[in-house]
Amino acid sequence: MARAVLDAALAKRRAAAANPRRRGSGGGGGEGRRLRGYSGPGPDPRDPQPFGAMLEKLMRARGWEKPKAEAMVFGAWEKVVGSDIAKHSRPVKLDGGVLTVEAESTAWATQLRLLAAKLLRSIAAEVGHNVVTKLNIHGPAAPSWSKGPRRVQGRGPRDTYG
């Protein structure tokens, strides 16, 4: 997800370099122009701004709303689905609106499949609509028996039923 955000930022930077604009003070633009004098008692763009407001403005300007919403699904999983469900499941991957969730047991996987519509509604209410469109829920991964202390190397006995 971080790689996608970085690639988007680099693409936007390349596009800005290919399309140069006038910079600096002077000439009609509101951002390039410096305000003179004191700001006075009223609000002014030069006043210190709250960090959250500046961060939201940066996210909107760079087009990071969707990656932010996708990261919210993983970062605030307990807040999004509730503490009881979060204890027994975890999000694994989000690809193209399909969220893969791994449950701690097959019983919990079945229960989460039954609650899929409710989970989609709570995810949409918390992080936004169309971020997660479908849930893919599965149980825990089975252990691999191809490696380990009880694995016998080689082909094994052949004429077993002889």
d(CA 2, CA 67): 8
In 3D space, the residue among 139, 143, 144, 142 whose CA is nearest the CA of residue 100 turns out to be 139
Task: For residue 102, give the H/E element and its range.
Answer: strand 98-103
pLDDT tens, residue by residue, 11-60: 888 888 777 654 444 444 445 566 677 767 877 877 888 898 888 888 88
In the chain the domains, ranked by start, together with CATH numbers, are 51-142 (3.30.300.180)
Q: Is 160 helix (H, G, I), strand (E, B) or coil?
A: coil
The answer to whether 92 and 102 have CB atoms below 8 angstroms apart is: yes
Q: What is the C-alpha end-to-end distance of the chain, expressed in Å?
A: 57
d(CA 97, CA 61): 23
> pTM for the full model?
0.57
pLDDT tens, residue by residue, 53-112: 888 888 889 888 888 888 889 989 999 999 999 999 999 999 988 999 999 999 999 999
Residue 138 bridge partners (DSSP)? 102
